[in-house]
Structure 1
């Protein structure tokens, strides 16, 4: 976003700082305080250390040993979370804490002689830790290819060949790595590309490895918060689950359906969670830590959240799209009478939709709130393109500066097919003042050259082409190529917005556009739709994960080749483990995964959503979404989204003091459908924490904010995920039968935990 010319005043004696016309103003008069951090470069250079010690070696056997172990752990945990009622990612902070503890233990207790010196080559260092985090975090995500395989097992009774399944995962996971790596000059190196979500992790690593009294004080704060949240999570997660969503309205009117829809939210697909208070950090910080997202993005999210509740209530209670025939929140397809739609009855033996069978069964319906989600995702994604072209055109244009005769001629002249012999040396510009300070420190290390990422892309592309035919995906080769092309274009825009704001909403929004395009191109082929989405949307998501991890490496000064190696190993190992765990959970929890609401422990909401989208778009796009049809405004909303940022931009050109540059229209639009799924009782608590952190603390106590905000965020995430992992296997059924706390007033095991009416 462009910065407006502002009048600044700085009183040296009182150390007070103000910005006229801005809502962010420091009134602190403590002489120890520092100025308020205003932009990405300020944050990146004040919150985390720019210093580097080139003597630190990440290439140790110990780093590989711990990295592989935590990759196995993280990949398994991520797949467990995929089948939870609320999507919770395996945080890099969590992996960072575990790796630090293990590394420190190996340094302390393993002797340094004989073969044991490989397990303990000396003090466990920051770069080893960063190497392990990147390897484990690359493994610690549920591959979207697993979603395709899960849908095939749950809804089509197809169990694909294990070999084809594994190569499907490999190609779909690495394709985005190649594209993202080739665009790192624009999406990684500049200071503007902050990646706010990784700041708590780097703040934590600085506290672990820097010396001095101040560092020891920070570590005490970290350990205290970590231990406190570790113990506390026993209560909302097991002993006292009412704390997941405490609603006075639900307690006052436990048998009122409207109250449940509006104020309930402690269970999946229950309600909007209006005025509910959540005391479970797992859900408050389930997507992104609220203490790390910049205030601008938080404010736009909050506006979208308010609009979302108004729109959802209006659609349902005005019975738009016959919404009252169906559950208030649901991701499945339904018959008009509200029963679940049997998709197998409209498909022939080739898994293609048969028009004659559709005539017998009738067209399916969506829940009205899910249609709003589809509308908002199109609005948000389209707005991302226009918003970035208007506000960040200089940043975006940098991605295409290489398209000129001189550059292309130089590439051809210097091309060497022996890519493995590339020394990776980079020319250091004469003037480095404008270069990001962290990137400037990285220039001393050999780069992982573009040829490595290009080879990753080419191999993944070829394997993907083979897999779509070996798995009978019904997706033709030209459809696969178009999917990859759409991913290449989308990566630049949606990841730029993610890197600046810290919210990945636009990346998720891209999925609906991809499904829409695939539906019209491959009408009647739900399976082809799923594979098209896999190789387009998932490619964008994987590019984002690669660039996020490379930003961790840049901040931690981990050499680029070490980061590349860690990412590839972690991704391949994680894909295999995802596949094994997915099969195990489906074998044991199949009936729960097929139900609408699931339980508070297991839920099939994600494969349900993916499957219903594939049926609706892949099989019935023309019948449901074309002009004049029931849901015609879903594709038309994309056109509306393209013009949505224009009023904000025009107003700012004429009346800059209104600060229209403060709002991210893609986030506002995308959040209009935010509450369509999951546990919504945490949303109000999320915004309370975020505004306290990013406004009150940052502007009123900037010194405390710089020293402790991201460190406390890391401790809260780390302690929570350690306890959630323990409880998942000990009492919540991840390793066998569940052992829930006996029912009492604070643990309503026969219904919703907040005691609202169960549907």
Structure 2
């Protein structure tokens, strides 16, 4: 889930100030621009009505066989690809913009080439419309996420030799994916319908929809450019991904000193957990844009990111070569646990038959160690952000963006609470959105008012989703040796509900959205000590519920502008359930065929087990050994204390900016700097130089020298590069990389070094 934190950290820097966010991150349609060229968008309502079209054509129908056909196809693609990416050495997400554009192309192609007669008329009922496109995107985006439940199942298979039966496993995924939908859906009146709940992250997608369906020559030119870029990057990716993997990371230093361990640690980066990748050049778009596309992030936001990378290299090198936390006993980069002598820790030797830590066995084995760079990662993540409203994130928002926080939580004042109480129906499952309330006020989103003409998906639907998921989850917990008691499950849901309410509002206002995984691991570890497996399930039902609720509300914002409420509900449920099944099938296939690689420290540049390794190590450390490792006076005591210390980090920068504004300390977003200071802890790191080169080319050179081209094509090209790459990765994963069988790697040659790092650095792990 780290990838979502990373991505949204950048979104916030563009969206905390509403008008500024739109100018930086979106390319409004010509119609929208014509109404606002000479005026300032002063508040959220102005943005909602000027950047995104408020017009709604009620003659358009999303309920077409064509929409279901394309939606199911792209959901299959997205669900499979998301799970493939879960086992990649770098966290990568499926591009939402690509799903939108490719669904448009497929829809228009079916409209153009399929005859409208006989049974074929059901596949071509007429012009492909915006509501169909939104329906498809919502379904595909719901599927195109690796369910956190696969973390739990993968860890059980890899490290506990537990394989829950298929039915139980699938229902585990269903329940954990849908609980957040139920809770988030019943909070729509607070977190979706008011105008201030803008969801800045979807504005580029919605403005692109407006542009695509305005038609005309400009639209056709954009699609022509999109198609050419997709074709070019599709062919190109065959080289770094299969024929010429050295292109993943070309390091002059490694080629000059291939047997030097220090060079490998500092400059290597073509394989997972190899090194920091300093000054390496990456030609693989999969990794350049794996976390967030550099063509979409303004340079002001990139500045803090760049500083974080510099600090990361300095801190990692200092910690390792000064042997802090016995760093040199362990691999430079690793997510595993170790004995003091550097051998991998066997966690099964400290657990009893109930998968709980046995004090006698623990005394025999001794406490495990983390690699020291991983400890730095944990410290910096806790310094940077904390879901319990501690850390640099909260202080930064409080100092720099107090108005955004107050806007997100205005419902908490006495009048707001009184209004909610006056309109509260104890039979909340019978409530029908906000139809009983005044929808003519300025506070209500104008797009929501347009949707009132269509039948709503009432609270009862979301309540049934929640109730069924709740019951299924309880049954699954007692059928999977989870060791999480019912009361632990209830606590995780209570925490999730609170966080959905507060963090959901903050996400809707600012665009900032992040997981509560580390916080959940800490709380779960202290309330149920000595139970690592229980900790995994506690985090699953706490953290994933928050994430899924935010995902639902984001997609409902897309639907609020371009789709019917009930169609959106249907698309989300179908996409989520299909995605969960595909995630499960792919997870088992990849583990069956790549088990040894997934258990290794470094993996390859194709497959890596670093994400299940992280989840497992955290579960053992927090769930099994929280007192022994993290309490005051223990080896890693500063990891939880970092939550508190992070409160004070942004203060000096705010003071500097207040008294010396010409120094531009406002360019320094401290949560990003802290977060990225620990980011190079694993995965393929050779992308850094290429990432910033592309960002500079796009966001400075093109933006300032060719602003017209930038406005028309930058985001379309960005989506095309993502899309063509992801299609090729999808094909190669099955054809030659062993996702469902034997690998067929390209024959060894200088550019495809077998049995070693592809950049010719010394293999250390």
Q: Report the TM-score, using the length of structure 2 for normalisation.
A: 0.87
Q: Give the Å deviation of 1:681.
A: 0.9
Aligned to 1:13: none
Q: Tell me if structure 2 keeps the 8 A contact 1:152–1:159.
A: yes
Aligned to 2:394: 385
Distance (Å, rounded) in 2 between the aligned partners of 1:568 and 1:331: 34
Aligned to 2:558: 552
Q: Tell me if structure 2 keeps the 8 A contact 1:250–1:755.
A: yes
Q: Which of 405, 424, 428 is 1:411 aligned to?
A: 424
Higher mean alpha-carbon deviation, 112-121 vs 34-43, is at 34-43
Q: Give the Å deviation of 1:605.
A: 1.2
Q: Tell me if structure 2 keeps the 8 A contact 1:47–1:203.
A: yes
1:395 correspondence with 2:407: yes
Aligned to 1:669: 674
Q: Tell me if structure 2 keeps the 8 A contact 1:78–1:89.
A: yes
Distance (Å, rounded) in 1 between the aligned partners of 2:38 and 2:290: 31
Q: Tell me if structure 1 keeps the 8 A contact 2:267–2:275.
A: yes
1:131 correspondence with 2:135: yes
Change (3 A) 1:394 1:663: farther
Change (3 A) 1:54 1:388: farther
Q: Give the Å deviation of 1:489.
A: 3.3
> What secondary structure does 2:79 align onto?
helix
Change (3 A) 1:416 1:431: closer
Higher mean alpha-carbon deviation, 566-575 vs 637-646, is at 637-646
Distance (Å, rounded) in 2 between the aligned partners of 1:178 and 1:298: 36
Distance (Å, rounded) in 2 between the aligned partners of 1:423 and 1:600: 48
Q: Tell me if structure 1 keeps the 8 A contact 2:191–2:197.
A: yes
Distance (Å, rounded) in 2 between the aligned partners of 1:437 and 1:704: 32
Aligned to 1:172: 176
- Map residues 289-368 of structure 1 onto 2, 5 A cutoff: 289-368=293-372
> What secondary structure does 2:718 align onto?
helix
Higher mean alpha-carbon deviation, 423-432 vs 361-370, is at 423-432
Q: Tell me if structure 1 keeps the 8 A contact 2:285–2:725.
A: yes
Aligned to 2:574: 569
Distance (Å, rounded) in 2 between the aligned partners of 1:657 and 1:58: 52
Cα-to-partner distance string for 1:639-673 (whole Å, 9 max, x where unaligned): 11223233344445555555444443322222221
Distance (Å, rounded) in 1 between the aligned partners of 2:246 and 2:215: 43
Distance (Å, rounded) in 1 between the aligned partners of 2:308 and 2:503: 18
Q: Give the Å deviation of 1:601.
A: 1.9
- Map residues 39-78 of structure 1 onto 2, 5 A cutoff: 51-78=55-82
Distance (Å, rounded) in 2 between the aligned partners of 1:97 and 1:330: 38
Change (3 A) 1:531 1:94: same
Distance (Å, rounded) in 2 between the aligned partners of 1:574 and 1:62: 20
1:534 correspondence with 2:543: no
Unaligned runs of 5+ in 1: 9-18, 23-31
Aligned to 2:523: 517
Distance (Å, rounded) in 2 between the aligned partners of 1:123 and 1:531: 47
Distance (Å, rounded) in 2 between the aligned partners of 1:187 and 1:657: 38
Aligned to 1:543: 549
Aligned to 1:725: 730
Q: Tell me if structure 1 keeps the 8 A contact 2:196–2:408.
A: no
Distance (Å, rounded) in 2 between the aligned partners of 1:632 and 1:329: 21
1:748 correspondence with 2:753: yes
Aligned to 1:157: 161
Q: Tell me if structure 2 keeps the 8 A contact 1:164–1:470.
A: yes
Higher mean alpha-carbon deviation, 207-216 vs 280-289, is at 207-216
Q: Tell me if structure 2 keeps the 8 A contact 1:262–1:271.
A: yes
Aligned to 2:639: 634
Q: Give the Å deviation of 1:674.
A: 0.7
Change (3 A) 1:44 1:306: farther
Q: Tell me if structure 2 keeps the 8 A contact 1:201–1:714.
A: no
Cα-to-partner distance string for 1:665-704 (whole Å, 9 max, x where unaligned): 3222222211111111112222332344344544554443
Aligned to 1:479: 488
Cα-to-partner distance string for 1:237-283 (whole Å, 9 max, x where unaligned): 12222221122211221111111111111111011111112121111
Change (3 A) 1:355 1:3: closer
Distance (Å, rounded) in 2 between the aligned partners of 1:148 and 1:88: 19
Q: Tell me if structure 2 keeps the 8 A contact 1:323–1:367.
A: yes
Aligned to 1:595: 600
Change (3 A) 1:580 1:108: same
- Map residues 488-499 of structure 1 onto 2, 5 A cutoff: 488-491=497-500, 494=503
Change (3 A) 1:595 1:405: same
Aligned to 1:253: 257
Distance (Å, rounded) in 2 between the aligned partners of 1:451 and 1:239: 54
Aligned to 1:470: 479
Q: Tell me if structure 2 keeps the 8 A contact 1:425–1:446.
A: no
Change (3 A) 1:325 1:494: farther
Distance (Å, rounded) in 1 between the aligned partners of 2:13 and 2:763: 48
Q: Tell me if structure 2 keeps the 8 A contact 1:352–1:524.
A: yes
Q: Report the TM-score, using the length of structure 1 for normalisation.
A: 0.88
Distance (Å, rounded) in 1 between the aligned partners of 2:583 and 2:318: 40
Q: Give the Å deviation of 1:171.
A: 1.5
- Map residues 206-285 of structure 1 onto 2, 5 A cutoff: 206=210, 208-285=212-289
Cα-to-partner distance string for 1:349-372 (whole Å, 9 max, x where unaligned): 111111111111111110001111
Q: Give the Å deviation of 1:221.
A: 2.2
- Aligned pairs, number: 728
Q: Tell me if structure 1 keeps the 8 A contact 2:299–2:700.
A: yes
Change (3 A) 1:2 1:210: closer
Change (3 A) 1:44 1:484: same
Higher mean alpha-carbon deviation, 655-664 vs 456-465, is at 655-664
> What secondary structure does 1:404 align onto?
helix
- Map residues 61-210 of structure 1 onto 2, 5 A cutoff: 61-184=65-188, 188=192, 198=202, 201-202=205-206, 205-206=209-210, 208-210=212-214
- Map residues 670-709 of structure 1 onto 2, 5 A cutoff: 670-698=675-703, 701-709=706-714
Distance (Å, rounded) in 2 between the aligned partners of 1:61 and 1:297: 42
- Map residues 611-626 of structure 1 onto 2, 5 A cutoff: 611-626=616-631
Unaligned runs of 5+ in 2: 1-11, 25-33, 386-390
Q: Tell me if structure 1 keeps the 8 A contact 2:107–2:128.
A: yes
Distance (Å, rounded) in 1 between the aligned partners of 2:39 and 2:419: 44
Distance (Å, rounded) in 2 between the aligned partners of 1:137 and 1:531: 24
Change (3 A) 1:709 1:399: farther
